[in-house]
Amino acid sequence: MSAYQLMIKPCGPACNLNCTYCYYLPKQRMFDGSATRMSDLTLEEITRQYISSHGSGTITFAWQGGEPTLAGLDFFRKALELQEKYRPPGMMIENTLQTNGTLLDDRWCRFLHEERFLVGLSADGPPSLHDIYRVDRTGEPTSGKVVQASRLLRRHRVEFNTLTVVDRENARHPLQVYRYLRNVIGSRHMQFIPCVEPKGFERVPPQGRDAKDLPTIGDDAARPGTERSVVTEWSVDPVDYGSFMTMIFDEWLQKDVGRVFVINFEVALASWMGLPPTACSFAEHCGDALVAEHDGSIYSCDHYVYPEHRLGRIQEVELSEMVSSDQQARFGREKARGLPAQCRECEFLFACHGECPRNRFIRNPDGGTGLNYLCPGLRRFFIHVGPWMKLMADGIRAGRTAEDIARAQAPGRERERADRPSGNGRGGMVSGHPRSCRPPEAGVPPPDQGRR
Ligand code: SF4
Ligand code: SF4
């Protein structure tokens, strides 16, 4: 069995916020009637089986939601006790927690620091952008609480990354978003996740749509905010997404290489260096990032939590059986098998691999299906960063650091004062990025990050 990661949802889709673009809140209807917190018995079964199916080495428990802190501190204390109970000699266990940050306080942060959790904090930019979609259950803004959470995390020296959903609005303000994360939130490890939601995604799984309803690349229907659009109005425009990433790349190259780590750039650099992709979206195959729901159900991927992609329940089928099942193997292979001609012939296939299958609902000009909605933006990004990635990859192979290479190539390069040191000394990616908090977009190959 290949190495795999398990994202665990102690409270399922339950959340104290009501973000407009959340793809997981609608899952509540799938779990009607079941308790919203994982029972101790289920937690123990997941812990035991996850550990025993790995045997040795390092494994990561990636806690996510909904909002996982709703499970309470005692739940996590219990989780650590169980990890210790089943951990064989020599195995290293790491814990990551993806949170909206609004429930963090001194007690939480002391615990997270002492237990060496890596935290992923959701932050979409300054209040004028963050609060458009990230609101609580009464529609109130949440940006103030996120700033407060970032201060607490820094005060208690908790390692954290930021996770930013790139939506239709903040995509038009890349530098405002990036500078806010860097200067106000104090993020030194960032990840940007495009918001792409086909209308009706709550009921219809990706690849479940009728081919005749798929728009062709370049059509109005393949962009948000148009009358015939097939995506929600908050989905990012594919071209804006490309511009967003390239503008942030330029700012980063000019000022921040070596002290701010952007997972998206690390992933691209790994591809240019010929290393295995470090995010599942850009890997050749899927299948190594499963989800354990609060009731013990196991699904193929965080973005495929639909009845059709349920592998079983941990109380009834061994986790190792589900991971190596034919169903999961088919799911993993389908990513490469489903590539359209446009991708197979693309010069960036080695770095893109058609991106995540959940976003493949566009037609090629020749009528073929399976093209990625984000393709125009992905191409724009790869064309822009390609020469730089090649330079960096060659330089790193020759023993230079990414920072030296950037300094030599960008003469006007300046640095702004850093308010905290970069790097946390754990893990490591091509240019020194430490481990990510979420399996899905940074991990073993890290599964693709979802967003909350
Ligand atoms: S998030 Fe996308 S690329 Fe990653 S495992 Fe799931 S389907 Fe595959
Ligand atoms: S850039 Fe577009 S055509 Fe090229 S591999 Fe990615 S999705 Fe396919």
Nearest bound ligand to the CA of residue 440: 1
Nearest bound ligand to the CA of residue 340: 2
Q: What is the DSSP letter of 215?
A: P
| Beta strands across the sheet bearing 5-8 | 261-262, 189-194, 159-166, 118-122, 92-99, 58-63, 5-8, 289-292, 297-299, 310-313
Ligand 1: which atom is nearest the Cα of residue 280? 4
Does ligand 1 come within 6 angstroms of the Cβ of 42? no
Least Cα distance to 57 among 90, 96, 86, 94 occurs for 90
Nearest bound ligand to the CA of residue 291: 1
Does ligand 1 come within 6 angstroms of the Cβ of 356? yes
Query: What tokens does 340 get?
Result: 């359209």
Query: What tokens does 214 get?
Result: 């798929």
Nearest bound ligand to the CA of residue 349: 2
Ligand 2: which atom is nearest the Cα of residue 371? 7
Q: What is the DSSP letter of 198?
A: B
Q: Which residue has the tokens 């954290």?
A: 160
Does ligand 2 come within 6 angstroms of the Cβ of 336? no
Probe residue for ligand 1, chosen from 207, 281, 288, 299 as the CB with the greatest number of ligand atoms within 8 Å = 281
Q: Which amino acid is at 413?
A: R
Does ligand 2 come within 6 angstroms of the Cβ of 354? yes
User: pTM score, two decimals?
Assistant: 0.91
Q: What is the DSSP letter of 216?
A: B
The answer to whether 227 and 241 are in contact (CB under 8 A) is no
The answer to whether 68 and 11 are in contact (CB under 8 A) is yes
Does ligand 1 come within 6 angstroms of the Cβ of 280? yes
Does ligand 2 come within 6 angstroms of the Cβ of 356? no
Predicted pLDDT at 409: 73
Ligand 1: which atom is nearest the Cα of residue 283? 3
CA of 359 from ligand 1 middle (Å) equals: 10
The answer to whether 51 and 86 are in contact (CB under 8 A) is yes
User: Helices marked H in 227-340 — which ranges?
Assistant: 238-255, 263-272, 319-323, 326-337
Nearest bound ligand to the CA of residue 7: 1
Least Cα distance to 49 among 336, 405, 313 occurs for 313
For the chain of 452 residues, list the mean pLDDT of each consecutive stretch of 10: 89 94 84 79 98 90 95 98 96 97 98 98 98 96 98 98 98 98 98 95 84 90 95 97 98 95 97 92 94 96 94 97 97 95 96 97 90 97 97 94 83 47 36 40 36 40
Residue 124, sorted as left (phi over 0), alpha (psi -120 to 50) or beta, turns out to be alpha
Q: Pairing between strand 118-122 and 58-63?
A: unpaired
Q: Which residue has the tokens 């909002």?
A: 67
Please count the residues of the chain: 452
Hey, whose CA ends up nearest to atom 2 of ligand 2?
375
Angle subtended by helix axes 375-397 and 402-409, to nearest 10: 100
Ligand 2: which atom is nearest the Cα of residue 379? 1
Rounded to whole angstroms, how far apart are CA atoms 264 and 164? 11
Hey, whose CA ends up nearest to atom 1 of ligand 2?
379
The residue ranges of DSSP E strands in 283-442, in sequence order, are: 289-292, 297-299, 310-313, 360-362, 371-372
295 is catalytic: no
Predicted pLDDT at 427: 33
Ligand 2: which atom is nearest the Cα of residue 372? 7
Write a three-state SS string for 131-185. HHHCEECCCCECHHHHHHHHHHHHHCCCEEEEEEEECCCHHHCHHHHHHHHHHHH
Probe residue for ligand 2, chosen from 344, 363, 372, 380 as the CB with the greatest number of ligand atoms within 8 Å = 372
Rounded to whole angstroms, how far apart are CA atoms 22 and 4? 25
CA of 371 from ligand 1 middle (Å) equals: 15
Tell me which of 302, 326, 394, 404 is the catalytic residue. Answer: 302
Residues paired with 235 in a beta bridge: none
Computed over its alpha carbons, how large is the radius of gyration of the chain? 21
Rounded to whole angstroms, how far apart are CA atoms 38 and 63? 12
Rounded to whole angstroms, how far apart are CA atoms 118 and 333? 31
CA of 358 from ligand 1 middle (Å) equals: 7
Predicted pLDDT at 209: 84
CA of 320 from ligand 2 middle (Å) equals: 33
Angle subtended by helix axes 73-86 and 106-114, to nearest 10: 10
CA of 362 from ligand 1 middle (Å) equals: 17
Predicted pLDDT at 371: 96
Burial class (CB in 10 A: 0-12, 13-18, 19+), 138: exposed
CA of 303 from ligand 1 middle (Å) equals: 7
CA of 268 from ligand 1 middle (Å) equals: 17
